[in-house]
Chain A
Amino acid sequence: MPVINVDDLTDLDKAKMEVTQLKTEVKLERAKVSKCCEEVMEYIQSLVEEDTLVKGIAEDKNPFKDLKGGCVIS
């Protein structure tokens, strides 16, 4: 892999790099946003029941439960 010295790139080099990149990106096949959103929602729904931060966790099952035993005296 050639060593690229970023500091040596001229403005013209950067402009050429941008055009080359845009030529790649213009060819992308894009899926409909509605379909993508639906898939994200399905993905989340399939996992949310096991998501502790959404559903909460019983104190006795919580690995981060309060370390101190005993009771509060006030």
Chain B
Amino acid sequence: MGEMEQMKKEADGLKTQIEAARKAVADTTMSAASAAVAPAPRVQLKTRRTLKGHLAKIYAMHWATDSRLMVSASQDGKLLIWDSHSGNKINAVPLKSSWVMTCSYAPSGNLVASGGLDNMCTVYNLKTPVVKTVKELDAHTGYLACCRFLSDSEILTASGDTTCALWDIESGKQKTVFLNHVGDCMCLSLSPDMNTFISGACDSLAKLWDVRDGTCKQTFQGHTSDVNAISFFHNGNTVITGSDDCTCKMFDLRADQEVISYQDAQLNAGVTSLALSVSGRLMFAGYDDFNCNIWDTLKGEKVGVLSGHDNRVSCTGVPPDGMCVCTGSWDSFLKIWN
């Protein structure tokens, strides 16, 4: 038997063992377990702010930890910093490359980062009299799909080159490379304790990584297409994913498997983004069909919809204080709802 065939046989054997181990603990599903819980009330949120200013498709947005400021990225070649309460623009950061796909606000509020088809993650200082580029993090050989700051000195990136990386911002070097996906990495989410993070990729898998030692700890199967969106539940033990297969799924880390799927026979648009309310009871998922559906995470039922955008909802975000949900769209607007 050739080496390749041997590897495949070994892999299949191990996969069968893992499936059996997962089945052995699958004594229920989330829908069954939550049968006695009262359904979440129908949610009707109003648009409180429509943020106008971008001149092209918005690809990403991220809330600052003060729950008031937020950054948005558009292929008009700008990052805009907004005061969500007043609706005013605080800052505009011109980008060297307009093909931006992601942006992130540092927890301190001092820095923002962006990246895209330039394969780089650029970090900017918002606190200097004029916004300055701090560093261009250049080592990925594919597009930058997602980035998240751990602090002012470290940032995690997910790339179309199938790797994720942890960078030291000051030196501009990769400290750790996370290699195990076999498809473009599309999204990442840091655990509340920042010791692990989870990534979603075009290989239809989600993977859990140890931030410090670079190892992949767990792999979650279930989706049948690209995983575009991912978020840790605030308890750190559960993860929600959104995919081009039109479904979202909840995976429990300790059971090492899917516990519920959020899908609807009439829904045939891919999921682009997702965000959780502070308790985790509601999940806001943006779709290619211009809507953002609101799901009851325990029951798996749709409890509302945010309609108002005239094009794909590309990004969603709930601020740390949970006061609202923001949606960003290819129609160039951001909307704030509560």
**A19→B259 contact, CB < 8 A:** no
B residues with CB within 8 A of A = 3-4, 7-8, 10-11, 14-15, 17-18, 21-22, 24-30, 33-34, 37, 40-41, 43, 45, 48-49, 68, 84-87, 139, 141-142, 161-163, 174-177, 179-180, 182, 214-219, 233-235, 237-238, 252, 254-257, 259, 277-282, 297-298, 318, 322-325, 336, 338
**B219→A12 contact, CB < 8 A:** no
Given A6-B162, A54-B279, residue A44 in contact with residue B28 (CB < 8 A)? no
Choose one: B37, B43, B45, B254; the contact of A31 (CB below 8 Å). B254
Q: Which residue of A lies closest to B318 (CB)?
A: A53
**A28→B323 contact, CB < 8 A:** no
Return chain A residues, CB-CB under 8 Å to B259: 33, 36-37, 40
Q: A35: shortest Cβ distance to chain B, in Å?
A: 8
Q: Can you spell out 7 A-B residue pairs with CB atoms less than 8 angstroms apart? A: A4-B163, A33-B27, A36-B252, A41-B37, A53-B45, A54-B40, A64-B324
User: Given A22-B14, A30-B254, A48-B281, list of 4 further CB < 8 A pairs?
Assistant: A3-B177, A31-B25, A47-B279, A64-B85
Return chain B residues, CB-CB under 8 Å to A18: 7, 11, 182
**B161→A6 contact, CB < 8 A:** yes
A37 to B27, CA, bound (A): 11
Choose one: B179, B255, B282; the contact of A4 (CB below 8 Å). B179
A43 to B45, CA, bound (A): 24
Choose one: A11, A26, A40, A50; the contact of B18 (CB below 8 Å). A26
